[in-house]
Structure 1
Amino acid sequence: MKFQMLWFALVLIAVETNATKKGKKATVPALIVFGDSIMDTGNNNKLPTILKSNFPPYGKDFPGGLATGRFSDGRVPSDLLAEKLGLAKTLPAYLSPNLNPRDLLKGVIFASGGTGYDPLTAKIMSVISVWDQLTYFKEYISKIKQHFGEGRAQNILDHSCFLVVSSSNDIAHTYLAQSHRYDRTSYANFLADSAVKFVIKLHKLGAKNIGVFSAAPIGCVPFQRTVFGGVTRGCVTPLNDMAKQFNSRLSPALNSLDKKLDGIILYINVYDTLFDMIQNPKKYGFEVADKGCCGTGALAVSYMCNSLNPFTCSNSSAYIFWDSYHPTERAYQVLVDKLFDKYLKQVL
């Protein structure tokens, strides 16, 4: 049975499949993540960008109520996945000024809010491109070798979970700046091809078990519904169609890579589950799916979501979205738990 369409089979494969290949029990030493604000745990804090979240009310449900730079009320998927793996309850941003060598061993987050596969996206937003995140990754491996030896570094490369999460900012924003070069379909294909190139580069750097997230239903986030959804604030079909085109191009391409490269290359389908959550919030225990908790919930994101805004909700767990772009910790937890449990139990 192939695992390309399984959400969290990456973990199983790292633990079970590679162990079977090598004839011994393997473990998952670290979780290493590249991408955008969905996974960012604070890399944007010191960057000259407006895309920051290291101020209240961000982090109001994070341990200690700290605004760490996570684009949510609490923890983000990188943290929740690390906890699922038994590594830690939170994972640090690689650019955290308080990082010490031992913090690197269980994994780090290279993700930068606002970035994308298109290099223009990071340039427009003044954030770290996914391609520059690979440069930081090379630096990270060098630090592991320096402090803990070649063997420890190789173990991390061979058995860790590597996740790549991007494309939303490209589709939602940068396409407009690229529309003179691409139509919607060709731009989505360009992004998918870029994602494949990223995986190839990451694999050449030594990563063996790589999972790549599908595009999300970006047309259903509150900001897009407010600006482009008309009077009814419906989901924006052209954006969702671009996301689905990206996914339809990415999935078979990663399947092909998986057959050619050693290790495991996975397509991780988050679109369908998140779309179902948004369309059927009560099914998942949510009350509000079309507005964010922060501010009025329609447009607030980053600095527009601040402690001076008097409209922020008191019960963020009732909302799928925290601000106008990013889900709440509870929504992330439901997503991670649902997909993890569903696919993990299938292959145990």
Structure 2
Amino acid sequence: MGPKLASLLAVLAAVYLAVAATAVDDAPLPRLPHQDIPAVFAFGDSTLDTGNNNVLPTMVRADHAPYGREFPGGAPTGRFSDGKLLTDYLVEVLGIKELLPAYRSGAANLTVADLSTGVCFASAGSGLDDATATNAGVATFGSQLADFKQLLGKIGARKAGEVVKKSVFLVSAATNDMMMNYYMLPSGRSKYTLEQYHDLLIGNLRSYIQAMYDLGARRMLVAGLPPVGCLPLQLTMAELQQPPRPQGCIAEQNAAAECYNAKLQRMLAEFQAGSPGARAVYADIYSPLKDMVDHPDKYGFVEASKGCCGTGLLEMGPLCTDMVPTCATPSKYMFWDSVHPTQATYRAVAEHFERTNIIRFDN
């Protein structure tokens, strides 16, 4: 075989592998066996927000390029990723619909049928502590619940009664509280010890899921904290405070996340025991994400310590724009920006949820 032919075959092989990888990334996830789940309603922060901040006067927005680069159509939607979020994959896996629309930014165009099969109320930058959302100029958790009450009025009492009790109420919050309001701001640490702040957040969350229960919700899926100490932005902040950049993750912050998650699991068990008909399920996102950091090659990643956007160390939101370069293949990166995962990561988490059966609500 001549050198030119060998080179041509190598190029063709590379193209084939790239196309094959793309096909796998875009392939539909296998659907779970039929479950009587008519809708998913999502509350929390940017890990779930499918575009609600697009209509808010805040800098915490992702309705600009290069966000949405791998999303169907290639346009930014307000999702803090290169493509889909966990919320989108969950409604796909459950066989409800392909994408979970944002309530606020899509309110004018959402039909009763759209509303009845689920929407997202989450707001990027929000948390369980109102101060977190207020500082960021985004929707508090309480205002997200107010939006849900408004939705119930739109679909009508009879329809609401049928839908709400069988729907999944997905919650993911507290990461911003810890990152932005506790670790980053001295005022947070001066007011509370770590344990006290965890207790405050868990107490607030308990009140919020009680409010959902009082409105008819019976199936709650509540995510814990991720390995906060592995987020590229946290590593950058640690380096700025005390060089050099930490090798690996910040052990103290990960230990704190595990402590919070243990308290969350106890609270959910107590809530379920005292709430007739309720299923309050803990969604472990810490374990799969930590495994991706520790074993990126297992998931097809070549980079798990920095994001695809810009340097990957600091850029997110208004700093991640089409003025900065991005990596060639986001699916090879665990993180899209310095905080938020790529579509490939969210897909892997959704697959983890499938394998561990946490999104089965058979009762």
Fold equivalence (TM over 0.5) = yes
2:132 equivalent to 1:118:
no
2:149 equivalent to 1:138:
yes
Higher RCO (C-alpha 8 Å, min separation 6): 1
Alignment of structure 1 residues 1-348 onto 2, 5 Å: 15=35, 27-97=36-106, 98-101=108-111, 102-145=113-156, 150-175=157-182, 176=185, 177-229=187-239, 230-233=243-246, 234-261=248-275, 262-310=277-325, 312-343=326-357
CA distance in 1 between counterparts of 2:32 and 2:306 reads: 35
Q: Conserved in 2, the CA contact under 8 Å of 1:14 and 1:159? A: no
1:261-297 superposed Cα distances (whole Å, 9 cap, x missing partner): 1221112111112111111111221110001001111
CA distance in 1 between counterparts of 2:41 and 2:34 reads: 13
Q: Conserved in 2, the CA contact under 8 Å of 1:50 and 1:302? A: yes
TM-score by length of 1: 0.88
Report which of the two structures shows the higher radius of gyration computed on alpha carbons. Answer: 2
Gaps of 5+ in 1: 1-10, 16-26
CA distance in 2 between counterparts of 1:114 and 1:346 reads: 29
CA drift at 1:236? 2.0
CA distance in 2 between counterparts of 1:50 and 1:344 reads: 34
Q: Conserved in 1, the CA contact under 8 Å of 2:202 and 2:263? A: yes
Q: Conserved in 2, the CA contact under 8 Å of 1:41 and 1:76? A: yes
Q: Conserved in 1, the CA contact under 8 Å of 2:219 and 2:361? A: no
Identify which range, 232-241 or 56-65, moves more after superposition: 232-241
CA drift at 1:346? 10
CA distance in 2 between counterparts of 1:54 and 1:219 reads: 27
Q: CA, structure 1 residues 114+344, in 2 after alignment: closer, same or farther (shift >3 Å)?
A: closer
CA distance in 1 between counterparts of 2:84 and 2:359 reads: 25
Q: Conserved in 2, the CA contact under 8 Å of 1:291 and 1:321? A: yes
Gaps of 5+ in 2: 1-30
| Partner AA of 1:287 in structure 2 | V
| Partner AA of 2:190 in structure 1 | H
TM-score by length of 2: 0.85
CA distance in 1 between counterparts of 2:346 and 2:286 reads: 13
CA distance in 2 between counterparts of 1:142 and 1:107 reads: 14
1:191-225 superposed Cα distances (whole Å, 9 cap, x missing partner): 12221121111111111101111111111111111
SS of aligned partner of 2:351: helix
| Partner AA of 2:286 in structure 1 | Y
1:30-77 superposed Cα distances (whole Å, 9 cap, x missing partner): 010000000000000111111000000000000000100000000101
CA drift at 1:131? 1.2
CA distance in 2 between counterparts of 1:13 and 1:60 reads: 32
| Partner AA of 1:304 in structure 2 | L
CA drift at 1:134? 0.6
CA distance in 1 between counterparts of 2:301 and 2:361 reads: 29
Q: CA, structure 1 residues 99+66, in 2 after alignment: closer, same or farther (shift >3 Å)?
A: same
Q: CA, structure 1 residues 100+186, in 2 after alignment: closer, same or farther (shift >3 Å)?
A: same
CA distance in 2 between counterparts of 1:53 and 1:185 reads: 33
CA distance in 1 between counterparts of 2:286 and 2:358 reads: 19
| Partner AA of 1:186 in structure 2 | Q
CA drift at 1:14? 10
Q: CA, structure 1 residues 75+299, in 2 after alignment: closer, same or farther (shift >3 Å)?
A: same
Q: CA, structure 1 residues 263+127, in 2 after alignment: closer, same or farther (shift >3 Å)?
A: same
Q: Conserved in 1, the CA contact under 8 Å of 2:281 and 2:358? A: no
Partner of 2:20 in structure 1? none
CA distance in 2 between counterparts of 1:344 and 1:153 reads: 25
The count of residues paired between Structure 1 and Structure 2 equals 322
Name the Cα RMSD after superposition: 2.1
Q: Conserved in 2, the CA contact under 8 Å of 1:29 and 1:155? A: no
